[in-house]
Amino acid sequence: MKKIIITGGNGFIGSNLINFLLRKKFFIINIDKNAYSKKSYLLRDIKNVNYKFYKLDINSKKIRNILSKYKPDAIFNLAAETHVDRSIDSPKDFINSNIIGTFNILEQMRNYKKKYKKKIRLIHISTDEVYGDIKKKYRSNEESPYQPSSPYSASKASSDHLIKSYSRTYNIDAVISNCCNNFGPGQFPEKLIPTLIFNILNNSPLPIYGKGINSREWIYVEDHCSGLFDIYKKGKSGESYNIGTGNDYSNLNLTKLLLKVVKDKKIKIGNKVKIKFVKDRPGHDLRYALDCKKITSTLKWQPSKNFETGLKETFDWYYNNYVFFENFSKKKFFKRLGLKLW
């Protein structure tokens, strides 16, 4: 049985990926420092003998011991600080986790390769935000220049460059994925869609930055997991692959669509549930959009979930698992961030 390490496995994408890989009969080692919650809600019922959890920061040198003990086939690196607003308030945390943490993983992989004369494959999960603002009618491909606009996207761009340098210089087997915005079951409440759902269920205004014209591309998390699996199986070492869907929505149109989903379900919406335009994020990119011809043509990957269907299923999950929100500190996750410039 092949063994796979997932760093950041208690996070939204990580926990979905763990369940995805367990269904495919892999032995999973989850490394997470539990920065966001005491445990993963999506992993709460795991009783699988093919699963092991380590509470550990990816900056720890103990990563070396885990590599030696399990001799994994691959590492999926999802350990990262990810919220743009939070990066504006506390950029140092993003440097430590996203850059220095990635450096530590690469160094431990390099030492492992030297000691055991064997490679571990690294799948590094990055973001479409490294490409920066994209003009209308254009989409970023894997050859597009990096133009990060926030401390978060700059830290991810830096880690991408580190990985490509280690792949070329030290012959580390590494592949990078740059994915669009994820949504689905178990996403943390600091993100847009779960924030909107929480507020709808609590008869509260729906905060939209600026005029709501900022556009993002969206992918259902299960589709992202299938794309990552195809990259692990068939991706070329040293290469990058965009993962996207072409489902582009402005924040305003997404909010209107979500309200329609709720109304169609005959769920009563409170009188305070109204769109409220709030102060925009500093340096807020207007549009992200990915060209995914590379992964669809070379790896034959395709997303399977229609956006509106995924949105309906996501709302149903939060509606039926409202206790999920109780795992998080309201002070930490429901407070507006990204406005402390000095």
Q: How many residues does the chain have?
A: 342
Residue pair 179/186 in contact by the 8 Å Cβ criterion: no
Phi, psi of 152 (to 5 degrees): -60, -55
The reply to whether 128 belongs to the active site is yes
Helix (H, G, I), strand (E, B) or coil at 241: strand
Closest C-alpha among 10, 21, 81 to residue 44: 10
Per the listing, tokens 């005029």 go with 211
- Distance CA(63)–CA(104), nearest Å, equals 9
Three-state secondary structure readout of 67-134: HHHHCCCEEEECCCCCCHHHHHHCHHHHHHHHHHHHHHHHHHHHHHHHHHCCCCEEEEEEEHHHHCCC
- Give me 47's structure tokens: 């009783």
Give backbone dihedrals phi and psi of 134, rounded to 5 degrees, phi first.
-120, 130
Query: Which one from 57, 129, 160, 248 is the annotated catalytic residue?
Result: 129
Residue tagged active-site, from 51, 152, 220, 241 = 152
Radius of gyration of the chain (CA): 20
**Residue 28 token pair:** 């999973």
Residue with tokens 């979905």: 16
Q: Is 170 one of the catalytic residues?
A: no
Based on the residue annotation, tell me whether 152 is a catalytic residue of this protein. yes
- CA separation for the pair 144, 129 (Å, rounded): 12
Of the residues 128, 160, 190, 248, only one is catalytic, namely 128
Give how far the C-alpha of residue 143 lies from the chain's centroid of Cα atoms, to the nearest Å: 21
Q: Cα–Cα distances in Å, from 184 out to 99, 117, 187, 248, 265?
A: 27, 40, 6, 16, 18
Cα–Cα distance for residue pair 208/213, rounded to 1 Å: 9
**Catalytic positions:** 128-129, 152
